[in-house]
Amino acid sequence: MITLSKKLKEDAARKSSGSNSKSPDLNNSTKRVSIRDRLLIKEVPEMTSSLPKTCKVHFPDVHKLHHSLLTISPEEGYWKDGKFIFELTLTEEYNIAPPKVRCKTKIWHPNISEEGQICLSLLREHSMDGTGWAPTRTLTDVVWGLNALFTDLLNFDDPLNIEAADHYLRDKRDFEVKVQRYVRNYAR
Amino acid sequence: MSTTKTSTMSMPQAAANPEVGSGTSTGTSPAGSGPGTATNAKPSDQRLFSLKKWNIVAMWSWDVECDTCAICRVQVMDACLRCQTENKQEECVVVWGDCNHSFHNCCMSLWVKQNNRCPLCQQEWMVQRIGK
Ligand SMILES: [Zn+2]
Ligand SMILES: [Zn+2]
Ligand SMILES: [Zn+2]
């Protein structure tokens, strides 16, 4: 037990001091590092080192780990050959509150609206079953969850874009044609 | 047993460098104890030694989960991330639920405002006791 807690403390100290030296808070030198930022010091490296091979993450401002752009390029399925950009924003309330995610690329998808809203259970703030957000989840789970919207979690039964889901049920071929037209027009 | 525990925690911490985990536990093993005796048969063969431990890791991860607050990921016996930041280490206490999961009281009281369920087992959250 002693070794264990000592190691954790050392890790935490090393990680937080390491990041402080890299990202000094120039404007608010008196302001303490937020809980969110301290969690992200651990979560971001964990997430970037275990990305699905279809995903890339970009931080527009390296001093703002709470704002990132995730690019998903599905290798198979209806959205193959598209590049879909998701914007992840983590408020100060993270990890009590889930990340806010929007799809910046226009897409024809039953679980993503054309305006970029996303229906993914783990991003749901208040859920009565075990599938919603919980502070035990991390950025890694979010990235894998979003990636799975193009594979395992693709769901036509409980759609956000009802029109897209109906389209699929009515005429799968035509659905596929429209998806690929969107890919060509918006997701290249 | 303490040696296995060390290697368990080292694994997620040092995921990129598994050598660190096995190195640490091999170093502490002479002080180690009973149940691992069989694996100590050939202490010179470190490869064989660490391979055996991969089985044990799974058994112990559950225990570690209980010792670490799943919300702020700091040991429950230490002050939570928030209290460490605000220098209120003394006030930070532990809360146990009826489900036997434990968290920092600070962390859990923030979470239950949003969802009155244990984030680990999803049972409705009922405080069993609060203390150190
Ligand atoms: Zn905590
Ligand atoms: Zn606290
Ligand atoms: Zn529980």
The CATH number given to whatever domain includes residue A116 is: 3.10.110.10
Average pLDDT over residues B69-81: 95
Query: A13 lies in a domain?
Result: no
B33, B87, B115, best to mutate vs chain A, most A CBs in 10 Å: B115
Q: From the CB of residue A51, how many other CB atoms can be counted at a distance below 10 Å?
A: 15
A94 sits in which H/E element: none
Please check whether residue B39 is in contact with residue B7, taking contact to mean a CB–CB distance below 8 angstroms.
Answer: no
Are the beta carbons of B6 and A32 separated by less than 8 Å? no
| Higher pLDDT pick, A6 / B2 | A6
Query: B47 lies in a domain?
Result: no
Q: Which residues contact B35 (CB under 8 A, 6 or more apart)?
A: B1
Cis geometry, peptide bond prior to residue A95 (ω within 30 degrees of 0): yes
Query: A63 lies in a domain?
Result: yes
Average pLDDT over residues A111-138: 92
Query: B44 lies in a domain?
Result: no
Neighbours of ion ligand 2 (CB under 5 A): B 80, 83, 92, 104, 106
Tokens for A116, please give them: 């970029």
Q: Is A90 left (phi over 0), alpha (psi -120 to 50) or beta?
A: beta
Q: Is the pLDDT of residue A128 over 80?
A: no
Are the beta carbons of B119 and A135 separated by less than 8 Å? yes
How many domains does chain A divide into?
1
Alpha-carbon distance of B85 to B81, in angstroms, equals: 6
For chain A, say whether B26 makes contact (Cβ under 8 Å). Answer: no
Alpha-carbon distance of A166 to A119, in angstroms, equals: 16
Q: Is the pLDDT of residue A45 over 70?
A: yes
Are the beta carbons of A5 and B77 separated by less than 8 Å? yes
Tokens for A3, please give them: 């070794």
Q: Is the pLDDT of residue B2 over 60?
A: no
Q: Which pLDDT band holds residue A113 (cuts at 50, 70, 90)?
A: very high
Q: Is the pLDDT of residue A117 over 90?
A: yes
Closest CA to A184 of A99, A109, A114, A80: A80
Alpha-carbon distance of A151 to A102, in angstroms, equals: 18
Could you tell me the residue range of the domain that residue A124 belongs to? 42-186
User: Is the predicted ipTM greater than 0.85, yes or no?
Assistant: no
Query: Quick one: pLDDT at residue A130?
Result: 77
Half-sphere exposure of A94 (CA within 13 A, CB side): 25
How many domains does chain B divide into?
1
Q: Which domain CATH number covers B107? A: 3.30.40.10
Scored b (16 or more CB within 10 A) or e, A5-24 reads bebbeeebeeebeebeeebe
Query: B59 lies in a domain?
Result: no
Q: How far is the CA of A135 from the centre of ligand 1 (A)?
A: 10
Q: Is A55 a catalytic residue?
A: no
For chain A, say whether B72 makes contact (Cβ under 8 Å). Answer: yes
Query: A109 lies in a domain?
Result: yes
Q: Is the pLDDT of residue A183 over 70?
A: yes
Q: From the CB of residue B14, how many other CB atoms can be counted at a distance below 10 Å?
A: 18
| Sign of the alpha-carbon torsion through B11, B14, B19, B25 | negative
Average pLDDT over residues A34-39: 94
Alpha-carbon distance of B25 to B32, in angstroms, equals: 9
Query: Quick one: pLDDT at residue A108?
Result: 98
